[in-house]
Amino acid sequence: MSIQKFIKASIEDEQQETAPPGPLAESFTDFDAEYHSMLCAGCSCLCDDISYFFKKGSVTRTLNLCEVGWKRLCAVSSEDREPPPSPHLLSDNVKQAAALLRAHPPVLVLGADSTDEAAIRTSFELADTFGGISLPWAFPGLRRFYERAKKFGWATGLLDEVRDRAESVIFWRADPLVTHHRHLSRYSLFARGRFTERGNLDRNLAAVASHKTVIEPLCQQFFELSIDQDPALIEALAHPQVGGGFDHRDLPALARALQGASYIALFVDPEKVTDETLDALFLWSAKLNTEGRKRMVILPLWDSGSNIEGFCRVSLELNASPWGGASVRTSAGAEPEKASWEDQAGSVGSVLLISTGTDPSPGCILPTCLAEKPLVVIDPSKRSATLDGQVVIPAALPGLESDGVFFRADGLPFDVSKLEPLDNNGFPTVAEVLADLIAEAR
Ligand code: SF4
């Protein structure tokens, strides 16, 4: 049976068994067009098994698209989205934006980590043109994480390897059910791998968080701890025979699970832990990997742009650092490399914000030091009240309305194709808008 027939059969079975009356009950053959095995660029999972079903030019059904991906789709396909601007209006917008940025150097380009590789490259070129800097939202965490990786060595692995081998998985102040909805089903818990054939039955899942999180009911061990308790927990897990005075109901069970695992995958949100915790995690991983009896990989799970790994790679190539350039002189006179996020942000004259197309997460709200700066927004969605800039330039949503290369959470590049029937109909790509701004400034 072909994949298409299999999907049709599955949908029809599902509809017969469970579908309520109404739009979902319509026959599968009512769809005008269907697209299968599409990649979603909604987060760095880059799921490659998405199906879209079209009727009269609109998506009426999807398969495997999670809530994050669905919101992204809605952002560009909702009826109240502004129509594409005329070339004349677009050119006026670009001229206005370029004049604003030129009048207020240096320029901070923020949010290129949610776009495709070509746009990320152009964001660095634009930052150079306007004497500024291009940074991802997760700049402070990114810098701290890679500094540790350089210092202690970084044991990383492919997500496919995690799926195939990880017997014990820990989410350290990261919750994939909030940021990467299908992470558990595709890679880290339910997914059946070569050596984990029974999926979650072959794995132990633990999480560390400051409060009850969405993932908590799925965990065999859950540590609700304040951030300053992290190093003590790591010490107790890394040296269970010594103990270290840390006590928790779930500690013995997790220590036993780690003892019995030959492959441990640890996912951490570097923005939510201290330097001391990052040091301790890297040292723990280095110790286990050096001893050679088991392997422990550390993968960052960013609450940031879906192409944060692409940003790191392009930045590494162009700036010799994965967290963005450092050309802005801070007002405090601190060395740019050592400057805090607030130092960097406070030193710029204006901001060019590349929006994600959906409402920003709490971690992606402009800091107060930027609130009063002249702001240009490249916005692929119909609008966002929080992103009212002096100039707003509409654009195609990368990875859905325009083609581009995105990097998965483990660094693998994928060519993401646009969804043809959503063809941007006149919206320029983000890379094109950035290139026009550069041309206008020269
Ligand atoms: S998990 Fe991420 S890549 Fe997969 S469907 Fe959801 S948003 Fe898209």
Which amino acid residue places its CA nearest to atom 2 of ligand 1?
Answer: 43
Q: At what angle do helices 117-129 and 308-319 cross, to 10 degrees?
A: 50
**Do 62 and 162 fall into the same domain?**
no
Q: Atom 6, ligand 1: which residue's CA is nearest?
A: 66
Residues near ligand 1 (Cβ within 6 A): 40, 42-43, 45-47, 65-66, 68-69, 180-182
**Residue corresponding to tokens 């029809």:** 12
d(CA 390, CA 94): 12
Cut 0.85: pTM above it:
yes
Q: Which atom in ligand 1 lies closest to the alpha carbon of residue 72?
A: 7
Residue of 63, 57, 50, 72 lying closest to 24 (CA atoms)? 63
Q: How many domains does the chain have?
A: 3
What CATH number has the domain bearing residue 420? 3.40.50.740
Structure confidence at residue 26 (pLDDT): 53
Within-domain flag for 265: yes
Confirm whether 244 is domain-assigned.
yes
Q: Looking at the domain assignment, is residue 144 inside a domain?
A: no
Q: Calculate how far, in angstroms, residue 306's C-alpha sits from the geometric centre of ligand 1.
A: 9
Mutate to test the pocket of ligand 1, among 64, 182, 307 (most ligand atoms within 8 A of CB): 182
CATH of the domain at 252: 3.40.228.10
User: Is there a single domain that holds both residue 178 and residue 112?
Assistant: no
CA of 65 to the centre of ligand 1 (A): 6
For atom 4 of ligand 1, which residue has the closest CA? Answer: 47
Domain assignment present for residue 314? The answer is yes
* Same domain as 273, residue 171: yes
**Shortest CA distance to 255 belongs to which of 187, 206, 184?**
206
Q: Are residues 262 and 158 in the same domain?
A: yes
In this structure, the answer to whether residues 161 and 290 fall within a common structural domain is yes
Q: How far is the CA of 103 from the centre of ligand 1 (A)?
A: 39
On whether residue 254 sits in a domain, the answer given is yes
- Report the candidate in 350, 393, 431 with the shortest Cα–Cα distance to residue 95: 393
| Number of the ligand 1 atom closest to the C-alpha atom of 65 | 5
One domain for residues 237 and 375: no
3 state DSSP class of 330? coil
Choose the final residue of a domain: 28, 56, 77. 77
Domain range for 26: 3-77
37 domain-assigned: yes
Calpha distance 324→143 (Å, rounded): 9
pLDDT < 50 positions in the chain:
1-3, 6-7, 10-11, 13-25, 329-334, 384-386
What does DSSP assign to residue 151? H
Residues 361 and 431 in one domain: yes
What is the reported pLDDT for 2? Answer: 45
Whether residues 271 and 196 share a domain: the answer is: yes
Indicate if 260 and 171 belong to the same structural domain: yes
- CA pair distance 150, 9, nearest whole angstrom: 51
Output the pLDDT for position 385.
45
How many CA within 13 A on the CB side of residue 419? 29
Domain C-terminal end among 300, 319, 346: 300
In a domain, 277, yes or no: yes
Q: Are residues 282 and 352 in the same domain?
A: no
Substitution site in 65, 177, 184 for ligand 1 pocket (most atoms within 8 Å of beta carbon):
65
Q: What is the pLDDT of residue 383?
A: 54
Report the pLDDT value the prediction gives residue 149, as an integer from 0 to 100: 92
Last residue of a domain, one of 266, 300, 334: 300
In a domain, 145, yes or no: no
